[in-house]
Amino acid sequence: MAAFSKLKSGSWRAQVRRKGRYVGETFLRLDDAKRWALDVERQIDRGETPSPARLARLNTFGDLIDLHVEDMCVVGKAP
C-alpha cells in the first residue's frame, strides 16, 4: 500500500511498504508519485528490486550528464 504526503516545500513524498520492503521517493507532482508507487508495487509483487525513479529513466550516458546539469542548476551552481 502506498502512502502520499505533501511536504512543506510543496513536493510530494511517496512511500511504499509491501511484503516487508520499504521504498520511498520524493516528487514534484502527485501524479508522478502515484505512477511511481504503482510501478514499485508491481515490481515488488514480481519479486524484483525496485530502483530509484530518477535512475530508472536513465538510458544513456548523455541522460546521466543531463541529470547532473539539472541538479547543479537546482542548487544554483555552475555545472
How high is the pLDDT of residue 55? 57
What is the model's pTM?
0.63
In-domain check, residue 34:
yes
- CB-based contacts of 43: which residues, under 8 Å, 6+ apart? 49, 50
In-domain check, residue 79:
no
Domain around 40: 2-74
Along the 79 residues of the chain, how does pLDDT read in single tens digits? 799 999 999 999 999 998 888 888 898 899 989 998 998 899 889 888 776 665 556 678 777 788 788 878 878 877 7
* Length of the chain measured in residues: 79
State the chain's maximal CA–CA distance in angstroms: 43
Alpha carbons 79 and 72: distance in angstroms, whole number = 6
How high is the pLDDT of residue 53? 60
What's the domain count of the chain? Answer: 1
In-domain check, residue 40:
yes
Here the cell at position 9 is 516545500
